[in-house]
């Protein structure tokens, strides 16, 4: 496989796609927007050293007026990779809205800049318990039950982008992405012919159902057989997209290709910063037994209070104690979500300046992005899986003390209950 570029609209999802590709035997690197992509290693002949390249962004937390110019600025580098596939990686629950994380606005920019042969939206990721049937999205909840996304006990009440529509074509139309055809599950048996008929050069869009792994495999086969006459395919969806495209590489004997230089035990204490206030993360925090758990108050994340809290954490770390600092799901911190993420990132930087650690975990997509940027990492490479939807990566920050740090970035809704204790072990 060659020519796969993925643009993650948040850091945790982008790292999961990185893991998906690596586990299929595909060498991949995840970069931080333009600076990381421009400084990727090159082969002696000047070609990219990685057949799959990702770009991690915070677009899911941005308004269209902010996202569109940044996305356009990436396009020369993306086109320079000569990709067959360009994957706009979004959350598996499609949580987005016209005013923030607008998927339709981003896809419109990508279509204008790339002139794809076809835009394919993959509605489900069965491996993550996300299912799309007849264009309607369902997801398993922490209670173990599968709910329609607009009745999901968490996603229907998301604090920033609550899902009030389960029909994905209606949901995307509200974000300006209309004229989306549907390749429903009963038609997937003939997916290759159906997709080929749609790739007629007219810039069509199609939403594809996915209920189980066979559906993902059928889509992957269809995409591999599609003749695009040199034009890229624009793929939209979660890491199920990467599973579809990379599946054939895995079938032909691909093996996991983690960053070998980062394997082996990591010495010293762990620092975990939980910026997600989801019920799933709260349960993971409550279950963690290998840490001193410190709940963050509103006075702990700004000014002198932040310095005092950072010093307290550093003192514990210096004594060899793992530290888990977390938000209170019910507290009012008096900050907008992006400002809260930036404050937590500054807290992480202050702690690490006082006592560096070799292993850091961050919970929350927006918080993860803010922390990775604030710490100055240029790119990430895959090390190992920590659970479904969660990857442990190596952070690359050449010339700095943080180069090589082990990073676990997780979204609010994903990961096993004992995830943080696994990270400590």
The topology (CATH level 3) of 260-424 is Molybdenum Cofactor Biosythetic Enzyme; Chain A (3.40.980)
Share of the chain above pLDDT 70, in %: 90
Tokens representing residue 154 in the block: 């968490």
pLDDT for 46 equals 41
Q: What is the pTM of this model?
A: 0.84
**CB-based contact 61:100 (threshold 8 Å):** yes
pLDDT for 28 equals 87
- Is 312 or 49 the better-scoring residue by pLDDT? 312
Q: Rounded CA gap, 389 and 92, in Å?
A: 10
Task: Give domain limits for the chain.
Answer: 4-251, 260-424
pLDDT for 256 equals 46
Confidence category of residue 67, pLDDT binned at 50, 70, 90: very high
- Average pLDDT of the segment spanning 42-71: 78
The burial of 238, by beta-carbon neighbours within 10 Å (0-12 exposed, 13-18 middle, 19 or more buried), is given as buried
pLDDT for 337 equals 82
Q: Is 60 exceeded by the pLDDT of residue 260?
A: no
Q: Is 60 exceeded by the pLDDT of residue 303?
A: yes
pLDDT for 116 equals 94
Across 249-308, the runs of DSSP E, i.e. the strands, are 270-274, 292-296
Q: Is 70 exceeded by the pLDDT of residue 263?
A: no
Confidence category of residue 111, pLDDT binned at 50, 70, 90: very high
Tell how strand 270-274 and strand 130-133 pair up: unpaired
Q: Rounded CA gap, 394 and 404, in Å?
A: 6
pLDDT in tens, 320-330: 999 999 998 88
Task: Based on DSSP, count helices (H) and strands (E) in the chain, helices before strands.
Answer: 13, 18
In sequence order, which residues have a C-beta less than 8 Å from that of residue 202 and are 6 or more positions away? none
Q: Rounded CA gap, 210 and 194, in Å?
A: 15
Q: Is 80 exceeded by the pLDDT of residue 252?
A: no
- Average pLDDT of the segment spanning 162-174: 96
pLDDT for 347 equals 94
- Average pLDDT of the segment spanning 149-178: 93
pLDDT for 86 equals 96
Q: Could you tell me which CATH class the domain 4-251 is placed in?
A: alpha beta
Q: Is 80 exceeded by the pLDDT of residue 276?
A: yes
Q: Which residue has the tokens 């060498």?
A: 27
- Mean per-residue pLDDT over the chain, rounded: 87
Q: Do domains 4-251 and 260-424 have the same CATH topology?
A: no
């Amino acid at each position: 496989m060659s020519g796969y570029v993925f643009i993650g609209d948040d850091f945790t999802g982008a790292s999961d796609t990185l893991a998906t590709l690596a586990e299929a035997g595909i060498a991949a690197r995840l970069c931080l927007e333009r600076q990381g992509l421009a400084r990727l290693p090159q082969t002696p002949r000047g070609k990219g050293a990685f057949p799959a390249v990702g770009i991690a962004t915070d677009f899911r937390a941005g308004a269209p007026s902010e996202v569109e110019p940044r996305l356009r600025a990436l396009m020369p580098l993306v086109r320079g990779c000569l990709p067959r596939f360009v994957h706009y990686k979004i959350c598996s629950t499609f949580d987005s809205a016209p005013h923030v994380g607008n998927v339709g606005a981003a896809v419109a920019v990508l279509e204008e800049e790339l002139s794809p042969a076809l835009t394919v939206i993959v509605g489900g990721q069965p491996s993550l318990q996300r299912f799309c049937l007849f264009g309607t999205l369902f997801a398993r909840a922490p209670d173990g039950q599968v709910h329609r996304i607009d009745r999901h006990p968490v996603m229907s009440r998301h604090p920033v982008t609550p899902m009030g529509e389960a029909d994905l074509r209606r949901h995307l139309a509200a974000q300006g992405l209309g004229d989306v055809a549907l390749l429903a599950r009963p038609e997937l048996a003939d997916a290759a012919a159906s997709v080929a008929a749609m790739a007629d050069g007219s810039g069509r869009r199609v939403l594809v159902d996915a209920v189980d792994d066979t559906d993902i495999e059928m889509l992957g086969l269809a995409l591999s057989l599609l003749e695009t006459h040199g034009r890229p395919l624009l793929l939209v969806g979660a890491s199920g997209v990467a599973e579809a495209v990379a599946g054939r590489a895995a079938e032909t004997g691909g093996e996991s290709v983690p960053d070998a230089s980062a394997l082996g035990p990591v010495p010293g204490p762990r620092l975990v910063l939980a910026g997600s206030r989801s019920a799933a993360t709260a349960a993971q925090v409550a279950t963690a037994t290998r840490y001193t758990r410190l709940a963050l108050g509103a006075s702990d994340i700004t000014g002198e209070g932040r310095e005092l809290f950072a010093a307290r954490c550093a003192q514990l770390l210096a004594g060899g104690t793992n530290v888990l600092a977390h938000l209170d799901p019910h507290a009012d911190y008096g900050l907008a979500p992006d400002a809260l993420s930036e404050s937590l990132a500054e807290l992480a930087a202050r702690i690490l300046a006082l006592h560096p650690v070799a292993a850091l975990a961050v919970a929350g997509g927006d918080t993860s992005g803010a922390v990775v940027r604030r710490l100055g990492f240029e790119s990430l490479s895959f090390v190992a899986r920590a659970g479904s939807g969660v990857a442990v990566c190596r952070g690359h920050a050449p010339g700095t003390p943080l180069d090589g740090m082990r990073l676990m970035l997780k979204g609010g809704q994903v990961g096993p209950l004992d995830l943080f204790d696994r990270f400590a072990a």
